[in-house]
A and B are shown apart, each in its own frame.
Chain A
Amino acid sequence: MAKMTYIKAITSGLDQVLSDDPKTLIFGEDVGKNGGVFRTTVDLQDKYGEDRVFDTPLAESGILGLAIGLSLTGWRPIPEIQFMGFTFEAMDGIVGQLARDHYRFGGQKNFPVTIRTPFGGGTHTAEMHADNLENYFVSTPGLRVVTPSNPYDAKGLVISAIESDDPVLFMENLKLYRSMKDEVPDDKYTVPLDSAKVVREGTDITLVAYSAEVNEALTAADALAKDNISAEVIDLRSLSPIDTDTIYASIDKTHKVVVIQEAQRMAGVGAVVASDIAEDKIMSLDAPIGRVAAPDSVYPFAQAENDWIPNSDDIEAKAREIFNY
């Protein structure tokens, strides 16, 4: 067991699967000698050779085409899309092709592709680098979408994603890459692909969040605790599918819920969670479902990011409002 950053935990998971399964391949822009622009694949080319870890020409649709074609010839591809904003260039590959191919063949062929891509605000990137674009992908049948909020889950989830025979979009939060450390086992372990986790137990209100907003929710829960409001915090981990069982069990206990996301409020993950709760658990609720999300503008110019991204104060305020309803 070692203390590891979120990014090191992902590298450790990739190292593990490359070592376990000779059919796994990592490829993308700059992932080879350079080890990725964030160094997520650092040293992996040296260790496993250029045949297994290799650079591609600069074209995201081509990268997805490679992934699909390599699946058809028996490989287990792990493409990287350098920033999530660049997935727009691969939209047909991901949504039009990859997610549908297993279905199109009537289940006869598998496309075990894990697309890794960094996203998330707060690091003052150039435009189109930080957007939370998960809402485009969670409405895609056939595609799993997961995103860890901490180093332990990062390693376990990336291994599960790659071992899955379904295509998985693995979203890595830019702000978390080096901002937190956790105890992470050196050996192989997995985190299930379709399960949320209660990361803080509580009895008065449930805060449902994912990725960097989990940490904001935990900070808010600390503040609420000072006033004897006991908040339970759930990390979704999987955005498609949503583990409603874990959320419902918590609501049965707290009877109050706030759903939190960094993405714009319109449509999206939080709306789905809120609608599921409304459909299945409305009789268990003592207050309206609260929502915390970014406003419905285009992702902000970097200097104003902190005014735009929902933070622990926003979550705390909404939680008090719902708690006191």
Chain B
Amino acid sequence: MANGSKQIVDFAKIKATMADPYKHPVQVINGDGKVVDPDTLAKYSDDQLVDFMKKMVWERTLHEQTMNFSRQGRLGFYAPTAGEEASEMGSVTAFKEQDFLLPAYRDLPQMIQHGTTVAKGFLWSKGHVEGNQHENPNMMFPQIIIGAQYVETAGVALGIQKNKDKDRVAFVYTGDGGTSQGDWYEGVNFTSAYQAPAVFFVQNNGWAISVPRKKQTAAETLAQKAVAMGVPSVQVDGMDIVAVHEVSKAARDYAAAGNGPVVIETLTYRYGAHSSAGDDPSRYRTDEETKPWFDADPLIRMRKVLTDKGVWSQDQEDKLVEQYKDEFKDAMKEAEAAPAQKVSDFLKWTYNVPTPAVKKQIAEFEAKESK
């Protein structure tokens, strides 16, 4: 050996540099509401930017109203979305009606944007089958088993490819914790192996219930995990709706053109609890930790940009909030008027052709239900 001290491979250097391509998350408007990429912003008309703002106000109001309904005992499971408006609205608006959405449980707002109603969202939360039946058929129900939506996305994307559908992709969401699941890798890897059209979102909101992002993996970014599967990926400021939208649109174009999948990590934050069912974030995080994220609020920074442009006012926003609240109250009334569910129907949907035992049970329950 010519040089005993020199190792054949420098693992420390490899480790120190593997996140280099992800050093600068894509950003158009920074946390202070300052435009850092004016060229990209200039691609958007004032109307488009106002529409982004409206959608974020809509989502924030939906969240607040949903929490109210929850406290009144009028809903079941609900996963709070406050803080993730730019990530959710910026991404879903980059997709077309024919694209196939595979949501997780924190993605009701994207589902409503993609073609279902607020009332259906409430019905899903309450535990009613109509909450899974959407106007736009290009949608799965919210996945509860974290990661399962990722492997199913591989199948949808492959199906789209085999159908030779033009201008159509699958898109899917999970959180930072979701990237630890084996299904996460299998889903991205299968899609990559077949070079099928899909966009995989990781909404990194910092927390998997109580476990912080840094405890999920030693990888510096979640986006870089895609590299191992031969998939291009990006980190984007998930509190910046313009950046999220721009990146999502680029990803959709890339996938739809037949180049294979893309992984997008949005850096966002879960302001509230994991769910409305008893999680208490004060057990595992401090106000000091959360404050910078509240300061980086996606609505605050967009409000500033639009106000500077003279196309937005507090008065306008207050009116919108009231209008949305009324719509959500109507939606709750609609949800509450849904017909009672019947066990005989559950049995009928268990098989296309009921088995003899199920047939018997249908008859038994129908007899009970007719009383």
Contacts and interface: CB of A to CB of B under 8 A. Distances in A.
A106 B130 contact: yes
A245 B193 CA distance: 48
Contacts of A25: 162
A106 B345 contact: yes
Interface residues of A, number: 44
Given A62-B186, A105-B133, A69 B156 contact: yes
Contacts of B154: 62, 65-66, 69
Contacts of B352: 102, 107, 110, 164-166
A71 B137 CA distance: 13
Contacts of B133: 105-106, 108
Interface stretch (A30-38, A90-98, A125-133, A212-220): A90-98
Nearest to B139: A72
Contact of B183 (A61, A69, A77): A61
Contact of A51 (B162, B170, B351): B162
Given A57-B189, A69-B153, A72-B159, A105 B183 contact: no
Given A67-B155, A194-B356, A92 B160 contact: no
Contact of A61 (B100, B182, B358): B182
Nearest to A65: B151
Contact of B159 (A69, A104, A105, A243): A69
Contacts of A73: 100, 155-156, 159-160, 162-163
A243 B357 CA distance: 9
A144 B354 CA distance: 11
Size range of the chain B interface in the assembly: 35 or more
A68 B154 CA distance: 9
Given A65-B152, A66-B151, A194-B356, A106 B190 contact: no
A103 B351 CA distance: 8
Contacts of A240: 355
Interface of A: 25, 51, 56-57, 59, 61-62, 64-75, 77, 92-93, 96-97, 102-108, 110, 141-142, 144, 164-166, 194, 240-241, 243-245
A103 B358 CA distance: 13
A108 B170 CA distance: 20
Nearest to A242: B357
Nearest to B356: A241
Nearest to B357: A241
A194 B353 CA distance: 10
Given A68-B152, A97-B148, A142-B350, A244 B159 contact: no
19 contacts: A56-B190, A57-B190, A59-B190, A62-B189, A65-B190, A66-B155, A69-B152, A69-B157, A72-B152, A92-B148, A96-B145, A102-B350, A104-B132, A106-B349, A107-B348, A142-B350, A144-B351, A144-B355, A166-B353
Contacts of A105: 132-133, 141, 349
Contacts of B349: 102-103, 105-107
